[in-house]
Each structure stands twice: as structure tokens, then as C-alpha cells.
Structure 1
Amino acid sequence: MKYALTVLTLSALLAGCANDGERIAFDGQYFNTKLRKVDGQRDVFQVTVKDAGKSIDGARAAARYEAVKYCVGHYGNSKIDWTFGPDAPASALRFDGGALTFQGRCPQ
């Protein structure tokens, strides 16, 4: 939980420095992310981060941010059980056409 709050706090600080409207920069880069439910289950989700090669660390942070935002918005907490998360070793990352995909679950 502490880690998620730290990420959200840092993201908010970065947002204050951004001059690109409502977008938040991660590691100095902007990422397009998409979060979707898996098999119609609201608690299980996938986060895809496009152009992750711009900054792997930034892409990981962007995915984590979207997931925390989703779980807080739907379940009121930032706890996430990652099936395949942003903290995975670099050798295990799943790239598809330059995009990274992660999967997790918001515990109820």
C-alpha cells in the first residue's frame, strides 16, 4: 500500500509539472495506456502501455498508475494482486508491437 501511495504521490507531482493538459509524464515520457476487464470480470484487468520502448521504467510506472487508479475507483483501495506485474524481471516482459501488457486483480 505504501508503494502505491508513493506512486500516486509522485504521479501527482509530475502532473503538476506537465504542460500537456491532463496527461501525466512517467520518467519524462507520456504513454498511452489502456485498461480493460478480462473475461467480463470487473476485478481482473489487463493494462497495455503503448510505445514502452521510450522508457521501460516509465512504462512500468504508467501501468502501475492506471491499475491503482482503477482499483481505487472500483474497490476503494490500492491493493493489487499481480498475475504479471510491472515488477517482473526485464527478461520476462511481454512486448507486442512495442506495447507492454500486464495483468492483475483488485482483491475485494
Structure 2
Amino acid sequence: MERLAILVMMGLAVSGCSNIGLLSHKNDPMFDGIRFGGKAKAQDANTERQHFVSTVKPVSKSFDGAREAAEYKGIRHCIEYFGTSEIDWQVGPDTDPAALVIENDSVTYMGTCRDA
């Protein structure tokens, strides 16, 4: 729970930067000492941004760090587009790590932003 509170606070701080063009991967926090590449994007950007996919890599550098980075990118997406960090995860931080699919050195989470 403490980790989620920290991620939410980071997301709130970063969301203020997005309006002034400071939001980039270079500003993303490090997880387990690594800055992970990747993004969260809408599954269908043409119709709605509420359902998203968050993918980060390289998982081979730190499995736990990659999972935290994928959660962070999902939270950041929801704050940017919906003003909330509340997410219903289909595959996410509470998913059994053994059940996660690692493909091309990437981990992917899927979630739905709740309306603010």
C-alpha cells in the first residue's frame, strides 16, 4: 500500500509537468536503479483512452523494477487523461508474477482507468 501511495504522488507531480512539455522518458523515475523504456497507450486511441496497455523493457535487467515501471506508466496515463490514479487492472501489479507473459524482454500490463 505504501508503494502505491508513492507511485500516486509521483504521478501527481509528473502530471503537472505534462501540461508544460516536460514529460518525457528522461524524467521517468528509476525503479531498482534502472530507467525502463516503454509506454502506456490506449488500446484503441481512436475511440477511447480509458482501456490501456502499459509495456516496459528490459525485464532482464530487473523483473521487479519492470513491474513497478509498468504500473507507474499506467498510473501516469490515467492521471494525464482522466485525472485519477484509480485503475481496474486486468493484468497488473496484483497478478501472480508467474502468470505474467514476458515477450521480447518486455512485460505488459492492461487496465482500465476509472472515471474521476
Tell me what 1:16 maps to. none
Q: Does 2:12 correspond to 1:26? A: no
Tell me what 1:99 maps to. 106
Q: Once the two structures are superposed, what CA deviation does each residue of 1:16-37 show, in whole Å capped at 9, x if it has no partner?
A: xxxxx52421011111012111
Q: Does 2:9 correspond to 1:4? A: no
Unaligned 5+ runs, structure 1: 13-20
Q: Does 2:77 correspond to 1:70? A: yes
RMSD, aligned CA? 2.3
Tell me what 2:89 maps to. 82
Q: Number of paired residues?
A: 100
Q: Once the two structures are superposed, what CA deviation does each residue of 1:57-95 show, in whole Å capped at 9, x if it has no partner?
A: 111111111111111111111100001112211210111
Unaligned 5+ runs, structure 2: 14-25
Matched-pair contact (CA < 8 Å) for 1:71–1:80? yes
What is the letter of the counterpart of residue 73 of structure 1?
A: E
**Residue 65 to residue 24, structure 1, CA distance change in 2 (3 Å):** same
The alpha-carbon deviation at position 3 of structure 1 amounts to 5.1
TM-score normalized by structure 2? Answer: 0.74
Percent identity over the alignment is 36
